[in-house]
Amino acid sequence: MADRSTCLSPLCGITIEGSAKKCPQCGWAMKSSRNIRIRGWVLLFCGLFLVLFMGGITWSLLPTLLHPQVAYENGRFNGNGDQARMILALFGAVILFGAVGSVNALYMITTGRQSRVFVIVTLLLAVVIVAAAWLMTRMLK
């Protein structure tokens, strides 16, 4: 199968046959399908790591966050119920971010292309996570 190159510009995104460094239409950088597949494998590893790591943390803290002020063998959460729900929502957003990254990675690996929809959704999730973390730090003070 011949190699294809895809423009990384969020506005252009054309795909051409062969290898090219710059987009002939807009001048942005282009990446080959092989390069995008390699990036997909790295993204898959990172996404699965986030899902599994944050899932494990959430699972271990779930009893203390569902029942604030109650002591368990692994400690207790001294905040109120709203703060516990906010923390669980942030953990859920990070897990969702990892899951979307993993699905995006599978798309990149199978097609050799990047999806603008996945890029936009991932960026929006990143904004939500940053905003939720900022709100949480303000709320926990």
How would you label 100-129 residue by residue, b for 16+ Cβ within 10 Å and e otherwise? bbbbbbebbbeebbbeeebeebbeebeeee
The Cα angle at residue 47 between residues 43 and 51, in degrees rounded to 5? 175
Alpha carbons 11 and 16: distance in angstroms, whole number: 16
The pLDDT of residue 2 is 59
The pLDDT of residue 113 is 82
Alpha carbons 24 and 22: distance in angstroms, whole number: 6
Q: How high is the mean pLDDT in each 10-residue block of the chain (141 residues)?
A: 74 78 83 88 96 94 82 76 86 94 94 85 91 85 73
Asked if residues 96 and 63 have their Cβ atoms less than 8 Å apart, the reply is no
- pTM score: 0.80
Alpha carbons 99 and 32: distance in angstroms, whole number: 25
The Cα angle at residue 80 between residues 132 and 85, in degrees rounded to 5? 40
